[in-house]
A and B are shown apart, each in its own frame.
Chain A
Amino acid sequence: DTGVSQDPRHKITKRGQNVTFRCDPISEHNRLYWYRQTLGQGPEFLTYFQNEAQLEKSRLLSDRFSAERPKGSFSTLEIQRTEQGDSAMYLCASSLVPWDLGYTFGSGTRLTVV
């Protein structure tokens, strides 16, 4: 297992377009998190899954954002009608609960909305 994989690494899109990102977690990890990181800031929580169930969604996440984790394996994060303010690094992380060993992050997907 090579860790958490995210695809694509970079995405440039025009304002108003929809984009979808994929995250493949470490296979035995049951938790999957999405965070967003803008320049000069720390990662900000968006949502998380335990297996296939989405357990929490940040109030900062507008209705244009949706995430899924079908069958508790990979996850997708979709942003509809992108805005320039959506430009950021989208980070996926996975962990194994109840074993409290911390997260493994992927390298992120950098989104630029023009």
Chain B
Amino acid sequence: QKEVEQDPGPLSVPEGAIVSLNCTYSNSAFQYFMWYRQYSRKGPELLMYTYSSGNKEDGRFTAQVDKSSKYISLFIRDSQPSDSATYLCAMSAEGGSEKLVFGKGTKLTVNP
């Protein structure tokens, strides 16, 4: 079993839809949870960063962490064509600036 599992999709939605992206993990030591967005032929960019359990909101994006279920989610409201990218979850036991374990990524396409 891989440490981090992420459904690779692809996921295709109409503009304005609510998007839900998810990852599960097996390592109980993970406490720091991130979502990175990666456009084609570019490096990943940090989108959301949460510590331990709970929710964090930033504009149209909400990150949720449920440590009891070892499950994290990213919600995108009012999705836009510019949100079309691959979304990678990443986790660490020591911090967001330490060694990360990434999921496979979910490729999202938002159709105008």
Contact = CB atoms under 8 A, between A and B. Distances in A.
B interface residue count range (under 10 / 10 to 19 / 20 to 34 / 35 or more) = 20 to 34
Interface stretch (A61-69, A71-79, A93-101): A93-101
A100 B8 contact: no
A36 to B, nearest CB: 11
A96 B98 CA distance: 9
B96 A102 contact: yes
A97 B98 contact: yes
Contact of A100 (B6, B45, B96): B96
B23 to A, nearest CB: 10
A100 B95 contact: yes
Contacts of B32: 100
Interface in B47-105: 49, 88, 90, 95-105
A43 B102 contact: yes
Given A40-B104, A42-B6, A42-B88, A101 B43 contact: no
Interface residues of A, number: 29
A91 B43 contact: yes
Interface of A: 4, 31, 33, 35, 40-45, 48, 56, 91, 93, 95-108, 110
Interface of B: 4, 6, 8, 32, 34, 36, 41-46, 49, 88, 90, 95-105
Given A40-B8, A98-B95, 7 more contacts: A4-B43, A41-B104, A42-B4, A43-B44, A99-B97, A100-B97, A101-B97
